[in-house]
Amino acid sequence: MAQIRFDALKTVLSRKPLVTERPLKKTSEYFGENVFSRNKMQEYLSAEAYSEVINAIDKGTKINRKMADQIASGMKFWAIEKGATHYTHWFHPLNGASAEKHDAFFEPSENGGVIENFHGKLLVQQEPDASSFPSGGIRNTFEARGYTAWDPTSPAFLIDKTLCIPTIFVSYTGEALDYKTPLLKSLAALDESAVAVCNLFDKNVTKVYATLGIEQEYFLVDEALFQARPDLVLTGRTLIGHASAKDQQLEDHYFGVIPDRIHAFMKDYEYEALRLGIPIKTRHNEVAPSQFECAPVFEEANLAVDHNQLLMILMEKIAKRHNLRVLFNEKPYKGINGSGKHNNWSLMTDSGRNLLSPGKTPKNNLQFLAFLINTIKAVHEHADLLRASIVSAGNEHRLGASEAPPSIMSVFIGEKLAEILGEIEKRVTSKKMSPDEKTEIKLDIGKIPPILLDNTDRNRTSPFAFTGNRFEFRAVGSGANCAAPMIALNTAVAGQLRTFMKDIQSLTRKKVKKDEAIFQVLRKYIVESKNIIFDGNGYGDEWIKEAARRGLTNIKSAPDALNAFLTPASKELFSSTGVFNDRELEARYEIRLEIYIKKIQIEARVLGDLVKNHIIPIAFRYQNLLIENVRGMKEIIDGKDFMASTKTQIYTIKEISEHVNKIDDMVDRMIEKRKNANLTDDIRKKVKMYSDDIKPFFDEIRYHVDKLELITDDEMWPLPKYRELLFNK
Ligand code: ADP
Ligand code: MG
C-alpha cells in the first residue's frame, strides 16, 4: 500500500476516543457562562446603562456616547475578570467566513507600564483595514475603509480569552459589506409589516420577531485520512474516488448508535456551545455513513444566525482536538447523501404567540391563515429569489440530485390545510357574503385543530415545508451562512404583508367589512399562488414534468439561478423594504459569481494536480509491473500457452493506457478552457465559461480515474478510498 495511505490508516486504527474529564455539573450551571447576557449586564452595568442597552435591543433606540463608555467599561470588567486579554469586533463578511481582528485591552500608560483600556468608542465602532474582503466594487480598494459597528441585539461572548463583539460591517459610504446588516434590515421590515397585520386582529401587538431553528448536517472524517487527500484539504470535497461496495444502501446509519469517538467529540463541542449560550439540544446520525446532525432550540433569527456561525467555528476547532475534521461542504462524497441545513422559520409576537400556529378561536385561526397564506404567496412571487439565495458551488451538486430538494421551489402544507384552503376558495366569493356564509366559513376555520403539529403529515422531499407550527426551508446548504436565505425570506414576506395591508385597505375603503375583506384577499392569494403548493414526492421525475406544466421554474445551474437577484421584481422588493439598494444588490450578485468562479477554479486546479501527479504515475507503475510480468512469462512459457496465460495482463495494460490517455487529454483541454476563461474581464461571461465549459470535465475525468482505482493494485493506490474515509471511526 502506498506509504502515505498506509501510515494514515495505521494512525486511525491506533486512535482511542479522547475522553475529556469534566466536573459533574448540571447544564443550567454553565449554560451561557461565557456570554455577556442580560443577567450579566444587570450585574455589571448601572441601572441607567442597562436600560439603555435593553431599549436598544427591544426598541432599536440609539445608544449615546456617554452610555456606550459605561457599557464598554462594564463589559471589559466582566471579560477581564474571566481572564480575557483581547477583544475583537466579530463580523460576517461576504466570503462566507467570520472575521476577527484581535486587539489587546492594554495600552501603554504614562509611567511606562500598561493599563487595561476599552472605552465606548472602541465598543461602538472600529475601522479594520478592509481592503481584502469582497465588496463587489462598492468599496474602492484604494479607499479601503470599512467600518464595523456594534449590534447590541446579539450579546458579546468570550472565546479563547478574547471578548468577541458581534458587529455589522459597512463601507465608508454606508453600504452593507456583510450579511448581518441586511439581515437586521430585513427583520425590521418584517417586524413593521407583521405588526400591522397582527393589529387587524389584536391591537396589543407591538413587535414581531422572526424565529429560527437550524438543523445542521455535517460529515466527520479522521484527520490522518483527511490529510492524505489533497482534494479534501483544499476543496472540502472528494473530487475523485470510487463508491464503496457498501455505503448507505442498508440505511443502517440513520439514528444508529453513535460511535464512541464521535460521541466524545459531540459532548465536547456541545459543552463549549452551551457555555456560549447556544441552546444545542439534538444530535443524531444522519443517512450517510459518517454523517451527523445537530440542532439547537430555535431563537430570535439574528441570534440564531450568529449562533450557527459560531457553532460551525466551534465544531471545526474541537474536531481537531479529537483528530477529526468536520466537513460542511454540501457534497463531500459522490453517490451518497450530501449535507443541508434546515432553516425552521416562524414569526412570534412580543407576547410570545407563534403566528404560524393555529389558536383556539376562529379569530386566532384567521390570523394564522393570514400569515400562512401570505407566506405561501411570498414564496410564489419570489421563488426564484429564494432559489438564488441558497446558491453555492457546493449546493449545486446537492439540489435535484434525488436526495435533496430539487431546484424547483414548491411549498408543502399537508392534507388538512390543503382542505381548509380549498374550502375558502370554494365558499368565499367576491360578492357580499351572507351571514350564513360567514358562519359556515367560520365553522370551517374553527375545524383547524389547535395543535397542528401532530396532525401535519411530514414530507421530507419538499424544499419549503409547513411542519405544524413553522416553515422549514430545507434546501439551504450545510456550509451556508443562513443569513442569506433568511434575508430573502424575511424580505419577501415583509413585502407581501405590506401588499396584503394595501389590498385590505382598498376593500375597506369601499365599505367592505374587515373580516370579509380579509377572506376575499386571502381567497385571491390562494387562487394566485396555489400552483406552488405540492404535497407529492419532490424527488421524483413526475414532479419535474408536473412543475413544468405548472410553469414553475427549475433552474439547475448556479450562475443562472443567481440572475434572480437582479430582476425588476427583486430590485423593487429590496429597495421598497429598505433592505438593499440596487448598488448593494448588484455588488452581492457579483460577489456570488466571483466566489463561484474561484471555487470551480480551485477544484479544477486540484483535480489537474491529482490526476497528473498522483494518479497517472501510479497507473504507469502498475502497468510496468504487468509489463514486467508479461516479459517474464515469455521467458518461461511459449506459443499458444503464452497468449492464454497473459490475456488478463495484456488486457489490463491496454485498459490502463486507454483511461490514462483519456484522462490526460481531458485535463489538458480543461486547462486550455481555464486559460481561455481567465482572459475575459466580463464576469458574467467568465462564470458561464466556468460553469458550462470547465465544470463538465470534472465528472468525465472522474469516471476514468475511478475506473483506474478499480483495476490498480490496492497496495499502490495513493489516496484513502471511500470505504476507509467513510467507515473508519
Ligand atoms: P424535526 O422534527 O424536523 O426532525 P426538530 O424537532 O429537531 O426537527 O426541530 C427542528 C428545529 O425546529 C429545532 O431547532 C426547533 O427548535 C425548531 N422549531 C420549533 N418550533 C419553532 C418555531 N416556532 N420557530 C422556529 N423554529 C422552530
Ligand atoms: Mg426538520
Give, using CA atoms, the residue closest to atom 2 of ligand 1. Answer: 467
Q: What is the predicted pLDDT for the residue at 540? A: 83
Q: Please tell me the least confidently modeled range out of 11-20, 272-281, 706-715.
A: 11-20
Task: State the average pLDDT over residues 114-139.
Answer: 73
Give 237's DSSP letter: S
**Cα distance between residue 11 and residue 8, in whole Å:** 5
- For residue 301, the ligand closest to its alpha carbon is 1
In the reported structure, the alpha carbon of residue 342 is separated from the centroid of ligand 1 by a whole-number distance in angstroms of: 9
Give me 8's grid cell: 494514515
Q: Name the residue of 344, 355, 461 whose CB sits within 8 Å of the most ligand 1 atoms, as the mutation to test its pocket.
A: 344
Which residues form the pocket of ligand 1, taking CB atoms under 6 Å from any ligand atom?
211-213, 215, 282, 295-298, 344-346, 354, 469-470
User: 104 vs 33, 76, 86, 109, 690, CA distance in Å?
Assistant: 22, 11, 4, 14, 44
Give, using CA atoms, the residue closest to atom 8 of ligand 1. Answer: 215
φ, ψ of residue 116 to 5 degrees: the values are -80, 125
With the C-alpha atoms ordered 76, 80, 84, 85, is the resulting torsion angle positive or negative? positive
Query: Per-residue confidence at 434, pLDDT binned at 50, 70, 90?
Result: confident
Tens-digit pLDDT profile for residues 87-123: 999 999 888 778 877 888 887 777 777 777 778 887 8
In the reported structure, the alpha carbon of residue 216 is separated from the centroid of ligand 2 by a whole-number distance in angstroms of: 10
Q: Please tell me the least confidently modeled range out of 194-203, 253-262, 453-462.
A: 453-462
For ligand 1, what atom is nearest to the CA of residue 346? 24
**Cα distance between residue 380 and residue 365, in whole Å:** 22
In the reported structure, the alpha carbon of residue 256 is separated from the centroid of ligand 2 by a whole-number distance in angstroms of: 18
Query: Per-residue confidence at 447, pLDDT binned at 50, 70, 90?
Result: confident
Q: What is the predicted pLDDT for the residue at 133? A: 72
Q: Name the residue of 214, 298, 302, 456 whose CB sits within 8 Å of the most ligand 1 atoms, as the mutation to test its pocket.
A: 298
**Cα distance between residue 22 and residue 30, in whole Å:** 12
In the reported structure, the alpha carbon of residue 229 is separated from the centroid of ligand 2 by a whole-number distance in angstroms of: 32
Yes or no: say if 595 and 665 are a contact pair by the CB < 8 Å rule: no
In the reported structure, the alpha carbon of residue 195 is separated from the centroid of ligand 2 by a whole-number distance in angstroms of: 27
Q: Please tell me the least confidently modeled range out of 243-252, 470-479, 620-629.
A: 243-252
For ligand 1, what atom is nearest to the CA of residue 212? 25
Query: Per-residue confidence at 131, pLDDT binned at 50, 70, 90?
Result: low
- For residue 286, the ligand closest to its alpha carbon is 1
For ligand 1, what atom is nearest to the CA of residue 356? 23
User: 69 vs 118, 397, 727, CA distance in Å?
Assistant: 8, 49, 55
Query: Per-residue confidence at 580, pLDDT binned at 50, 70, 90?
Result: very high
Yes or no: say if 664 and 700 are a contact pair by the CB < 8 Å rule: no
Of 150 and 721, more confident: 721
For ligand 1, what atom is nearest to the CA of residue 354? 23
- At CB < 8 A and 24+ separation, what contacts does 643-646 make? none
Q: What is the predicted pLDDT for the residue at 657? A: 98
Tens-digit pLDDT profile for residues 322-345: 999 999 999 999 999 899 999 999
Q: What is the predicted pLDDT for the residue at 437? A: 82
Q: Please tell me the least confidently modeled range out of 21-30, 292-301, 463-472.
A: 21-30
127 has pLDDT over 90? no
- For residue 281, the ligand closest to its alpha carbon is 1
Query: What's the per-residue H, E or C state across 16-84?
Result: CCCCCCCCCCCHHHHCCCCECCHHHHHHHCCHHHHHHHHHHHHHCCCCCHHHHHHHHHHHHHHHHHCCC
Q: What is the predicted pLDDT for the residue at 404? A: 66
Q: Name the residue of 208, 209, 215, 307 whose CB sits within 8 Å of the most ligand 1 atoms, as the mutation to test its pocket.
A: 215
Task: State the average pLDDT over residues 39-62.
Answer: 91
Task: State the average pLDDT over residues 690-694.
Answer: 96
In the reported structure, the alpha carbon of residue 297 is separated from the centroid of ligand 1 by a whole-number distance in angstroms of: 7
Tens-digit pLDDT profile for residues 252-294: 766 677 888 999 999 999 999 999 999 999 888 887 889 999 9
Q: Name the residue of 470, 472, 486, 489 whose CB sits within 8 Å of the most ligand 1 atoms, as the mutation to test its pocket.
A: 470
Give, using CA atoms, the residue closest to atom 14 of ligand 1. Answer: 213
Q: What percent of the chain has pLDDT over 90?
A: 70
142 has pLDDT over 60? no
Q: Quick check: pTM over 0.85?
A: yes
- For residue 342, the ligand closest to its alpha carbon is 2
141 has pLDDT over 70? no
In the reported structure, the alpha carbon of residue 346 is separated from the centroid of ligand 1 by a whole-number distance in angstroms of: 10
Q: What is the predicted pLDDT for the residue at 59? A: 83
- For residue 462, the ligand closest to its alpha carbon is 2
Q: Please tell me the least confidently modeled range out of 63-77, 365-379, 508-522, 598-612.
A: 63-77
521 has pLDDT over 70? yes
Tens-digit pLDDT profile for residues 148-164: 888 999 999 999 899 99
End-to-end CA distance of the chain: 20
Task: State the average pLDDT over residues 65-80.
Answer: 90
Max mean pLDDT among 69-83, 526-540, 560-574 falls in: 560-574
Q: Which residue has the cell 414576506?
A: 493
Task: State the average pLDDT over residues 226-232.
Answer: 97
Query: Per-residue confidence at 504, pLDDT binned at 50, 70, 90?
Result: very high
Q: What is the predicted pLDDT for the residue at 457? A: 63
Q: What is the predicted pLDDT for the residue at 249? A: 74
In the reported structure, the alpha carbon of residue 103 is separated from the centroid of ligand 1 by a whole-number distance in angstroms of: 38
499 has pLDDT over 70? yes
In the reported structure, the alpha carbon of residue 343 is separated from the centroid of ligand 2 by a whole-number distance in angstroms of: 8
Calculate the average pLDDT of the chain. 91
- Which stretches of 482-537 are DSSP H helices? 483-508, 514-529
- For residue 340, the ligand closest to its alpha carbon is 2
Q: What is the predicted pLDDT for the residue at 140? A: 58
**Cα distance between residue 562 and residue 595, in whole Å:** 12
Of 196 and 103, more confident: 196
Give, using CA atoms, the residue closest to atom 1 of ligand 1. Answer: 215
Q: What is the predicted pLDDT for the residue at 98? A: 81
172 has pLDDT over 90? no
Q: What percent of the chain has pLDDT over 70?
A: 95
- For residue 486, the ligand closest to its alpha carbon is 1
Query: Per-residue confidence at 729, pLDDT binned at 50, 70, 90?
Result: low
Give, using CA atoms, the residue closest to atom 11 of ligand 1. Answer: 213
Query: Per-residue confidence at 440, pLDDT binned at 50, 70, 90?
Result: confident
Q: What is the predicted pLDDT for the residue at 537? A: 86
In the reported structure, the alpha carbon of residue 375 is separated from the centroid of ligand 1 by a whole-number distance in angstroms of: 18
For ligand 1, what atom is nearest to the CA of residue 357? 23
Query: Per-residue confidence at 400, pLDDT binned at 50, 70, 90?
Result: low
Give, using CA atoms, the residue closest to atom 17 of ligand 1. Answer: 213
Query: Per-residue confidence at 232, pLDDT binned at 50, 70, 90?
Result: very high
In the reported structure, the alpha carbon of residue 215 is separated from the centroid of ligand 2 by a whole-number distance in angstroms of: 7
In the reported structure, the alpha carbon of residue 527 is separated from the centroid of ligand 1 by a whole-number distance in angstroms of: 29
Give, using CA atoms, the residue closest to atom 4 of ligand 1. Answer: 215
Domains of the chain with bracketed CATH = 31-178 (3.10.20.70), 187-580 (3.30.590.10), 595-727 (1.20.120.1560)
In the reported structure, the alpha carbon of residue 79 is separated from the centroid of ligand 1 by a whole-number distance in angstroms of: 33
Query: Per-residue confidence at 411, pLDDT binned at 50, 70, 90?
Result: very high
